């Protein structure tokens, strides 16, 4: 049984960081004071006469080598100073985390606290990599656990089991429509408004586009993956229907070849064919978002956290703002949960200490730090999404709170948890439609068949 409160241990010299670079150095300097000395690739604070000896417990923490490492590092330094437990932050290239988590588990080299995304969260749980935390939530929950949006925790569970806390929450991959206010005003066009519709957006995009001069009317962060496509497609259909879903609620039946998805395909193909929306060959640096920041697209849908990213990239080139993704033809607001999580390895030798650190990572304060220090989005805490300092950085986070509070729709996860396999098939096949190599009518049935073959495979053991 894990103790409710771990024993306070002696202070350590400072948090150890592997490969954290300049940001880590800045954070450590702010939190730990004196400049650290480097030993064997890890960074430790210089020993102080007031600093007690360290304990023999060390926690290794897996983090991505991005801004997402800022909050875990700050919280690790705090936990270390309060408990005497040494915490080592180990960065991993984000694209390699899925594979390295699985291989590290097999080779017994995995960290104590792990980082993940919905794409591989559930399949890794079934493989025994992540520790279940329901007993701990019942006996020793985080102090502000009730502050987490219920739909977020539900969206991180599998078969009623919890094994993670949200680290970054996305209400949808295309939930925020950024717009070039300067361009629209110069063209005498109306600005997007809260509660607008897909037809409003379409009309605005067509009026703003100037294909002869390489100006597009709208773009997306993605329309070729389960979760990014679903954020848009779920805007179609009646508010109480699942017509816009590409999988049934159980994740056993794939259904792209339907009238609803045919309507969406006709709408988007018209925009692509007429140069209102860009195809991959039009992207800058393999990103449709770069077209927007370069002033070559009037509007662009993205994760809500990208609003700040775009502002920093645009600087004074033009004025921009953002609104929520418009509702569909029948007034439906499409949402699709995705995000990143923190977990405890089932092979950790120190589950008590790992749970205490995980609780810090799950806190509302950590959610605020994700924005203020990591320049990203909050975790699952209501107080973080509505915090005045957070909203001051990105007012759209406060706007998105309303749809999070109402409850966001779940990540499109196959019941067998083989998301990566199924999504890769979907991406390859739907790109043929978007790039003009085939049509929905010619290829939708084949997409259903190929993806369904993956969904019919058994769950991994």
As given in the structure block, the two tokens for residue 38 are 């480097």
Mean pLDDT of 270-288: 96
CA gap 217, 222 in Å, rounded: 16
CA gap 345, 165 in Å, rounded: 13
Tell me: pLDDT of 280 over 90. yes
Same fold, 16-170+339-406 and 176-336+414-455: yes
Per DSSP (E only), the strands in 65-199 are: 86-92, 113-117, 165-170, 176-180
CA gap 152, 409 in Å, rounded: 9
What residues are paired with 18 via a beta bridge? 42, 90
Q: Which of 5, 53, 45 is nearest to 25 (CA)?
A: 45
User: How would residue 265 be classed by pLDDT, with cut points 50, 70 and 90?
Assistant: very high
Mean pLDDT of 424-440: 98
Per DSSP (E only), the strands in 315-444 are: 320-324, 338-344
Q: Which of 286, 179, 270 is nearest to 222 (CA)?
A: 286
Question: What are the sequence ranges of the domains in the chain?
Answer: 16-170+339-406, 176-336+414-455
Q: Which of 7, 96, 104 is nearest to 346 (CA)?
A: 104
User: How would residue 244 be classed by pLDDT, with cut points 50, 70 and 90?
Assistant: very high
* 374-407: pLDDT as tens digits: 989 999 999 999 999 999 999 999 999 999 999 9
CA gap 154, 451 in Å, rounded: 25
As given in the structure block, the two tokens for residue 325 are 């993704």
As given in the structure block, the two tokens for residue 230 are 């679903």
Q: Which of 296, 327, 67 is nearest to 175 (CA)?
A: 327
Strand ordering across the sheet containing 176-180: 299-302, 176-180, 320-324
Mean pLDDT of 6-29: 32
User: How would residue 419 be classed by pLDDT, with cut points 50, 70 and 90?
Assistant: very high
* 205-237: pLDDT as tens digits: 999 999 999 999 999 999 999 999 999 999 999
Q: Give residue 413's pLDDT.
A: 98
User: How would residue 55 be classed by pLDDT, with cut points 50, 70 and 90?
Assistant: confident
pTM across the whole model: 0.87
Least confident of 6-10, 136-140, 263-267: 6-10
CATH topology of domain 176-336+414-455: D-Maltodextrin-Binding Protein; domain 2 (3.40.190)
Tell me: pLDDT of 36 over 60. no
Tell me: pLDDT of 420 over 70. yes
Tell me: pLDDT of 38 over 70. no
Sign of the Cα torsion 58, 64, 65, 67 reads: negative
Burial 111-150 (b: 16+ CB within 10 A, else e): bbbbbbbbbbbbbbbebebbbebeebeeebebebeeebbe
Q: Give residue 5's pLDDT.
A: 25
Q: Which of 73, 114, 149 is nearest to 410 (CA)?
A: 149
Tell me: pLDDT of 105 over 90. yes
Mean pLDDT of 94-104: 96
Q: Give residue 9's pLDDT.
A: 28
Mean pLDDT of 263-274: 98
Superfamily of domain 16-170+339-406: Periplasmic binding protein-like II (3.40.190.10)
Please state, rounded to an integer, the average pLDDT across all residues of the chain.
89
Tell me: pLDDT of 135 over 70. yes
Phi then psi for residue 59, to 5 deg, are: -110, 130
**Running DSSP on this structure, what letter comes out for residue 211?**
G
Specify the 3-state DSSP secondary structure of 118. Answer: helix
Question: For residue 227, what is the enclosing H or E element?
Answer: helix 226-233
CA 398 to chain CA mean position, Å: 17
Distances (CA, A) of 184 to 22, 217, 307, 311, 356: 39, 10, 18, 17, 50
Q: Give residue 14's pLDDT.
A: 31
Q: Give residue 68's pLDDT.
A: 86
CA gap 430, 439 in Å, rounded: 9
Tell me: pLDDT of 30 over 90. no
Q: Give residue 54's pLDDT.
A: 57
CA gap 171, 169 in Å, rounded: 6
Tell me: pLDDT of 3 over 50. no
Q: Token match 């989005």: residue?
A: 377
Mean pLDDT of 22-42: 34
* 300-356: pLDDT as tens digits: 999 999 999 999 999 999 999 999 999 999 999 999 999 999 999 999 999 999 999
User: How would residue 53 be classed by pLDDT, with cut points 50, 70 and 90?
Assistant: very low
Strands 165-170 and 86-92, by their bridges, are: unpaired
Phi then psi for residue 50, to 5 deg, are: -90, -5
């Amino acid at each position: 049984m894990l103790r409710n409160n771990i024993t306070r241990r002696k202070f350590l010299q400072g948090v150890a960081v592997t490969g954290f670079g300049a940001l880590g150095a800045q954070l450590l300097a702010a939190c730990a004071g004196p400049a650290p000395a480097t030993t064997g690739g890890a960074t430790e604070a210089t020993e102080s006469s007031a600093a007690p000896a360290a304990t023999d417990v060390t926690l290794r923490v897996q983090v991505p080598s991005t801004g997402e490492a800022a909050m875990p590092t700050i919280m690790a330094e705090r936990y270390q100073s309060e408990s005497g437990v040494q915490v080592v932050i180990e960065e991993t290239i984000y694209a390699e985390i899925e594979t390295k988590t699985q291989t590290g588990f097999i080779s017994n080299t995995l960290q104590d606290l792990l980082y993940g995304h919905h794409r591989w969260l559930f399949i890794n749980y079934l493989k025994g990599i992540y520790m279940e935390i329901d007993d701990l939530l019942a006996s020793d929950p985080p102090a502000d656990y009730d502050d987490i949006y219920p739909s977020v925790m539900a969206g991180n569970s599998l078969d009623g089991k919890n094994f993670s806390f949200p680290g970054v929450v996305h209400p949808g991959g295309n939930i925020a429509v950024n717009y070039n206010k300067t361009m629209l005003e110069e063209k005498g066009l109306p600005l997007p408004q809260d509660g607008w519709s897909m037809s409003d957006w379409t009309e605005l995009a067509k009026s703003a586009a100037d294909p002869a001069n390489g100006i597009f009317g709208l773009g997306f962060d993605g329309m070729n993956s389960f979760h990014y496509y679903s954020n848009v497609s779920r805007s179609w259909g009646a508010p109480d229907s699942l017509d816009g879903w590409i999988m049934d609620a159980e994740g056993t039946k794939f259904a792209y070849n339907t009238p609803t998805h045919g309507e969406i395909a006709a709408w988007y193909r018209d925009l692509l064919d007429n140069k209102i929306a860009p195809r991959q060959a039009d992207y800058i640096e393999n990103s449709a978002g770069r077209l927007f920041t370069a002033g070559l697209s009037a509007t662009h849908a993205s994760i809500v956290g990208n609003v700040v990213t775009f502002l920093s990239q645009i600087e004074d080139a033009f004025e921009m703002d953002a609104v929520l993704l418009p509702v569909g033809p029948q007034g439906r607001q499409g949402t699709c949960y995705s995000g990143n999580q923190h977990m405890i390895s089932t092979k950790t030798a120190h589950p008590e200490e790992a749970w205490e650190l995980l609780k810090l990572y799950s806190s509302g304060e950590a959610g605020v730090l994700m924005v203020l220090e990591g320049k990203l989005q909050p975790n699952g805490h209501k107080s973080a999404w509505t915090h005045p300092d957070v909203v001051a950085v990105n007012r759209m986070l406060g706007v998105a709170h309303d749809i999070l509070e109402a409850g966001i729709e779940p990540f499109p996860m196959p019941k067998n948890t083989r998301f990566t396999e199924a999504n890769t098939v979907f991406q390859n096949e739907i790109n043929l439609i978007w790039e003009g190599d085939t049509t929905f009518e010619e290829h939708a049935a084949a997409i259903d068949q190929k993806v369904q073959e993956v969904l019919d495979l058994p769950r991994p053991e």
